Amino acid sequence: MATVTIDSLTFTYPKRTHPVLDDLAVTFPAGKFSLLTGVSGGGKSTLLNLIAGLTPLPAPGAIRFDGHPLAEIPATKRANTVAMMFQEPSTQFTMDTVENELRFALENQRVAATDIPAAIDEALNFVGIAQLKHRILMQLSGGEQQKVALAIIVAMNSDVILLDEPFASIDPPTRLTLLQKLMTLCTQQHKTVILADHDLSGYAHWVDHLAVLDAGHLTLLSTEETQERFAAFTPDRLQLTRVTPPQDTETVCLQGTQLGLFSGERELIHPQDLAFFAGQATLITGPNGSGKSTLFRALVRLSHYQGTLTYQGQDIQKISRKSYARQVGLMFQSAMAQFLNVTLDEELTLSQKNGNRAYFTPERVTQLLDQLGLTQHRNQVIYSLSSGQQKKAQLLCMLIMAPQVLLLDEPLKGLDLASIQTTMHILTSVQRDLGLTLILISHQLSGLDGLVTHHLRLMDHRLLYEGVTE
Amino acid sequence: MNPTLKLALVLIIALEISFTQVWTVNVVLLVVCFILMIAYRVKIKRLLWLTLVPLFFATALVWSLSLQGSASAHFLIVIFTRMFVYVYMGGVFTQTTEPLMLTRSLEQNAKLPSKFAYGFLAAFNLMPKIRTEVATIRAAALMRGQVLHVWSPQLYFKVILVAMNWSDQLASAMASHGFVEGAPRTHAVRVPLPTWNWWACAVSLLAVQLGLFLGLP
């Protein structure tokens, strides 16, 4: 058990004038679950990194664990005190397999060699992933990787568990399992859990006081205010009302014939025929690791597939890479993958040079930047933006390119509610004005209602349109 | 055989044949390496690669040296076989050693600081990731209307940027899983260093010395 006390914490990134955290004071009680929320770029990740000791503290006494300043806890004891689970599932491992990563963590904790196998099995069983023990980490889906990350935290037996938007790319059932495991850790093992999340669904009966981080200050909401915020995320608002089954009159733009997808030996999609329709906004949903992102990579020729894929009747393998890439674009799940330059302004200039200049006039771009709250970040290095800001910048860059078919892999990942609404508004109006075909993967369903017209479900290795029976 | 000892043996032999000119020893080493690779079931395709690539370069080297005219036939044979020995010994080592076992062995047997041992492992694990990343970067560029060739500096700028980002992430990942530079660790898997390994190493070295001594003109 450990109470985390933060006292007059001010933090400014080097070469920046505005502090991200401004004279912050808060106490996270021991053995409790604390939920932290706030706008993108509001400093949630910064705060968690500071608590985890991953970013050096500006003042040594600003963060204390049970009264002991973080700086005074010896480095070798730190993992025992505080552990962190990251937003990006794949970036938190050093070794190749699940077992080796657990061994690595336990060896660092100086657990006796004879006790390690039992500790590994116990942690894996607690999370319910004993079957993943010998799997290669990089071949696991994002959800499975997050489960492994949790198992490692359980094995390390850290008192304080920090989670930085751990569910950003995770399907609802996995999210619920992980949340329940975290609650068990809180109630039965008295761990202090601090979780940062934008998506507030599913927390209502677990969290009493929501902590909101805004403009460098943290406020603890009352029970009523907290419930009010949660209400905005209740399931009945997540319905997709405009979804219809595809009609015979619709034009097919991408057609897969006996399309099959594999990840190594594992079958993701059993060979089937699949059509995507022009001018529609199609949402693809399905469990983690079921093959949604792999389907996108296949559609842009970045991964292998079985069968044939045609674009407007032409085999995509026979179209030149250059011209195909201009017609079918992908907004990658990781924003980093999209950027080619250093500053946001350079990225926009590149898109404007090669994209749809007639529609995206400089005035319109300035206006969009303003709506997305990116205006003052124009000359900033793109990699130093927060993950939510990067996501918005990425979307804008791809929209300006205006390819006939735009694939969007988790376009709302890491965005706060206000940003989601702005983003969806922009996406909807651009699609309507330019007649684009949009295909989206998103776990986050709130805000999608006004846009999505077809819903494709991936289940049991099959893709099936909502409203269509086999 | 213990990975560290194996690495040391390979390096010592390679060093020795670099400074001596006994082609018979080279041929014997080649045969031994070949047998070892067959015994450890190295794939035929890989074996062919390991043979054809040095064959091309060794032939080119010998051909250009012989055109110059000053090199003796003996020297040419030595050069030709030496190149093969390097590649084959490297082949035996890499094809029979798991990187993770080598890392553990370097840490436990050679007492190398764990920082270096795991740094090496991380770099190794990064290789296939870099290949996918290059393909992704080029595709991302095409979608933005920019063609990145193999010689485009922008491609390398981006790869380096990505790699730097990975190294930060890796450092965070290691730290968050409790890795502390220079701190003592326990070892879940012990890498054995049995006495017969030392004997095998000593006997092999002795045999090479004997061969070199007898073979010297």
Give residue A236's pLDDT.
52
Q: Are residues A276 and A416 in the same domain?
A: yes
Give residue A369's pLDDT.
95
Residue B190 pLDDT > 60, yes or no?
yes
Question: CA B147 → CA A315, A332, A382, distances in Å?
Answer: 22, 18, 21
Which domain-ending residue is among A235, A257, A289? A235
CA distance B86 to chain A (A): 29
Residues A180-205 have pLDDT tens digits of: 999 999 999 999 999 998 878 888 88
Residue A444 placed within a domain:
yes
Give residue A12's pLDDT.
86
Give residue A448's pLDDT.
86
Output the domain CATH number for residue A353.
Answer: 3.40.50.300
Q: Are residues A249 and A229 in the same domain?
A: no
Q: Which residue of A has its CA nearest to B189?
A: A113
Residues B195-204 have pLDDT tens digits of: 999 999 999 9
User: Of B18, B19, B25, B14, which Cα lies nearest the Cα of B92?
Assistant: B14
- Indicate the residue of B136, B144, B177 with minimum beta-carbon distance to A94: B177
Residue A215 pLDDT > 90, yes or no?
no
User: Could you tell me what percentage of chain B is helix, strand and coil, using 3-state DSSP and rounding each to the nearest 5?
Assistant: 75, 0, 25
- Indicate the residue of A54, A337, A401 with minimum beta-carbon distance to B136: A337
Question: CA A413 → CA A74, A334, A356, A401, B139, distances in Å?
Answer: 36, 9, 25, 21, 22
Q: Are residues A220 and A327 in the same domain?
A: no
Residue B33 pLDDT > 80, yes or no?
yes
Largest CA distance in chain A: 70
Which domain-ending residue is among A196, A211, A235? A235
Q: Are residues A225 and A244 in the same domain?
A: no
Contact A112, A175 (CB under 8 A): no
Distance, in Å, from the CA atom of B106 to the CA atom of B113, rounded to the nearest integer, reads: 9
- Indicate the residue of A83, A321, A403 with minimum beta-carbon distance to B176: A83
Domain limits for position A283: 239-314+322-465
Q: What is the pTM of this model?
A: 0.78
Q: Which of A95, A296, A341, A356 to mutate to test the interface with B (most CBs of B within 10 A)?
A: A95
In DSSP terms, which residues pair with A256 in a beta bridge? A274, A309
- Sheet strands (E) in A200-288: 210-214, 217-220, 252-263, 266-277, 281-285
Which domain-ending residue is among A202, A235, A268? A235
In this prediction, residue A237 has a pLDDT band, given cuts at 50, 70 and 90, of low
Average pLDDT over residues A414-442: 92
Q: Are residues A9 and A93 in the same domain?
A: yes
Q: Between chains, do A91 and B100 touch, taking CB under 8 Å as contact?
A: no
What letter does residue A93 receive in the DSSP assignment?
-
Residue partners of B29: CB distance under 8 A and separation at least 6: B13, B17, B85, B88, B89, B208
Q: Which residue of B has its CA nearest to A84?
A: B176
Left if phi > 0, otherwise alpha if psi is -120 to 50, otherwise beta: which for A110?
left
ipTM above 0.85, yes or no: no
Distance, in Å, from the CA atom of A167 to the CA atom of A81, rounded to the nearest integer, reads: 23
In DSSP terms, which residues pair with B133 in a beta bridge? none
Residues B75-97 have pLDDT tens digits of: 889 989 999 999 999 999 999 99
- Sheet strands (E) in chain B: none
Q: Which of A82, A90, A92, A108 to mutate to test the interface with B (most CBs of B within 10 A)?
A: A108
In this prediction, residue B154 has a pLDDT band, given cuts at 50, 70 and 90, of confident
Residues A78-90 have pLDDT tens digits of: 888 899 888 777 7
- Within 10 Å of residue A113's Cβ, how many Cβ atoms? 14
Give residue A163's pLDDT.
92
Exposure pattern of A387-413 as b/e (b: 16+ CB <10 Å)? bbbbbbbbbbbbbbbbbbbbbbbbbbb
Sign of CA dihedral A224, A227, A229, A234: negative
Give residue A374's pLDDT.
93
Q: Between chains, do A321 and B118 touch, taking CB under 8 Å as contact?
A: no
Q: Between chains, do A75 and B180 touch, taking CB under 8 Å as contact?
A: yes
Number of domain units in chain A? 2
DSSP assignment string, A113-175: TTTHHHHHHHHHHHHT-GGGTTSBGGGS-HHHHHHHHHHHHHHHT-SEEEEESTTTT--HHHH
Q: Are residues A28 and A140 in the same domain?
A: yes
Q: Which residue of A has its CA nearest to B172?
A: A54
Q: Are residues A74 and A163 in the same domain?
A: yes
Distance, in Å, from the CA atom of B61 to the CA atom of B63, rounded to the nearest integer, reads: 5
When mean pLDDT is compared across A12-21, A411-420, B37-46, the lowest value belongs to: A12-21
Q: Between chains, do B172 and A92 touch, taking CB under 8 Å as contact?
A: yes
Q: Between chains, do A355 and B176 touch, taking CB under 8 Å as contact?
A: no
Residues A332-367 have pLDDT tens digits of: 988 888 999 889 999 999 999 999 889 999 999 999
Q: Between chains, do B143 and A325 touch, taking CB under 8 Å as contact?
A: yes
Distance, in Å, from the CA atom of A428 to the CA atom of A450, rounded to the nearest integer, reads: 7
Residue A120 placed within a domain:
yes
Q: Are residues A148 and A130 in the same domain?
A: yes
Give residue B88's pLDDT.
93
Question: CA A167 → CA A172, A194, A399, A444, distances in Å?
Answer: 9, 14, 26, 10
- Indicate the residue of A108, A337, A355 with minimum beta-carbon distance to B177: A108
CA distance B190 to chain A (A): 9
Residue B205 pLDDT > 90, yes or no?
yes
Residues A9-53 have pLDDT tens digits of: 888 887 777 888 888 888 998 888 999 988 777 788 889 989 988
Residue A421 pLDDT > 70, yes or no?
yes
Residue A162 placed within a domain:
yes
